Amino acid sequence: MTLLMSQGLRFIYIFVIARLLGAEMYGLLAFGNAWYMMFLPMTGLGLGIYLSQKVGKNAQKAEFRTVPLVASIRFIAVTLVASVCLFVGLVNADTQAISIIIAIYTVALIGRAMLLWSTQMFQAYEQTIYVFKLERIFKPAEVTLGLLVAFATENVLLVASVHALGMICQGGIAVFWVNKYLVKVNLTWRPRIMLALVVKLLPLGIAVALGQFLFQGPVVLLKQEGITLSQIGNFSLAIQLFVVLLSIFSSIRAAALPALSRNAKSSFSKLQSYSHYSIVIGVVFGCSCALLASQLAEPIIVWLFTEKFRLAGNVMAILVWALIPAIIHNMLNSSQAALEHNKSILLINVLGASTLIVGMFYWLDAQFVEGAAYTVIAGFGTAALASALYLVKKKVLRALPSVIWPALITLLTFTLNDILNDHVVTFAALFISISVMLILSWWLLVDAQVRKLILERVVKR
């Protein structure tokens, strides 16, 4: 319920801010947000996953060894990364407005980093109720204050300042709650051990940063390619709506990691089930959203956000197809993390990010801003396929039900909908395509025993 509230408020915030500020000013706000969010994973260095692994296995031991080390490394990392974020941003800024918004969002980076560490602590100790409590308090307050400032001033820099202030306050309270309700965290200075841990986790840290780059990188790359702020605003709106749809699966992934780490070796079947049904959910949910968006995204976005955001509707109709590989890639990352296969996560994310960067230059020339949506699909698609094939190799997944059938069902769904659109009315095409996709997924992707169990429960009700 809290997650729905948070994402509902986020949508309302995006809706009002985009309409009030217009495409160009929203583009400036979105660029600043993408800039600092691109640096955020560098404050973590992959330590969140490491924390979940260690606490999930032995919470008492982790309290005295792992937690103080992680907190101390994070403190140093936040200081360094915030400095780099500000310096590089100011050096590359081509207008005063961009310089100011980068400075404001650097403050937000510090607060967000404190919140990220606290959230990872709550998730590692499986006390996510505190994460929800924080969201219930701060998200409505930030949205309300942000909207009041936007209505009163229509000043993008003041709106950004409200966000930065909210992040600092929420991050500070979150750190306080960790010390009050979980464990008393004391910083330590053990340079050799800290350096050894950073080096050990460097592949995972880079992998996490590259994973975030798949979301924020396209916006930053568009700015570097000279795309106007108005066009960036349109693309960013589509990305924000995409992230809202994806967020529920990111939360499930983070919450599942401690249990997966604890059971990875003792109960391999649970890891296999989690991995396989992550793919099933990705195909079913992703295809359903993509089919609906292909017909409805443009008219709905124009109706909600005005004609200035028509380009966002065109981008969204393409971008939603990236939900399928994005869900699969994010969920399967937890399987690899539970097995502590950090180098594989790094290599897969490097592959995905490289595909995104190379594809950006090609598709921008060929398809303009809509081409950036194809690069996101290509980036996540490459990473998702590599993740699935790696887990097939490690015997976590089976090739036919977990890779071949999902790929064929997705391809068939897309092709069938495309053909039907030329011969029948839109809603008939949607109904037939979604129905065929669900029937094929039920018979080809869901295990016979699981089908029987589901049917028995439905009949009992």
For the chain, domain boundaries: 1-189, 230-461
How many whole angstroms separate alpha carbon 5 and alpha carbon 96?
36
**pLDDT for residue 61:** 60
How many whole angstroms separate alpha carbon 392 and alpha carbon 403?
9
Tens-level pLDDT at each residue, the chain (461 residues): 555 566 677 778 888 888 888 888 988 999 999 999 989 888 877 777 777 767 766 566 655 677 788 888 889 999 999 999 999 999 988 889 899 999 999 999 999 999 988 888 888 777 878 888 888 888 888 888 988 998 888 888 999 999 999 999 999 999 999 888 888 888 878 888 888 888 887 877 788 788 888 878 888 888 877 778 888 889 888 988 888 888 777 767 666 666 666 666 666 778 888 889 999 999 999 999 999 988 888 899 999 888 888 998 999 999 999 999 999 998 888 888 778 787 888 889 889 888 888 887 777 665 677 788 888 899 999 999 999 999 999 888 999 999 999 999 999 998 988 888 777 667 888 888 899 999 999 999 988 888 888 887 777 76
* Residue among 289, 336, 335, 326 nearest 430 (CA): 289
Tally the C-alpha atoms within 13 A of residue 119's C-alpha that lie toward its C-beta: 18
pTM of the predicted protein model: 0.82
The region that residue 446 occupies, defined by phi over 0 for left and psi between -120 and 50 for alpha, beta otherwise, is beta
Helix axis angle for 191-224 and 229-263, nearest 10°, is 150
Residues contacting 414, CB < 8 A, separation 6+: 290, 321
Do residues 380 and 352 lie in contact, with contact meaning Cβ atoms separated by under 8 Å? yes
* Residue among 23, 49, 1, 33 nearest 344 (CA): 49
**pLDDT for residue 123:** 80
Strand runs labelled E in 293-337: none
Q: Where are the alpha helices (DSSP H) in 191-307?
A: 191-224, 229-263, 268-305
Token duo for residue 169: 């306050």
Give the number of other CB atoms < 10 A from CB of residue 293: 24
Radius of gyration of the CA atoms of the chain, in A: 22
* Residue among 407, 378, 394 nearest 344 (CA): 394
Q: What sign does the dihedral 396-398-401-405 (CA atoms) show?
A: positive
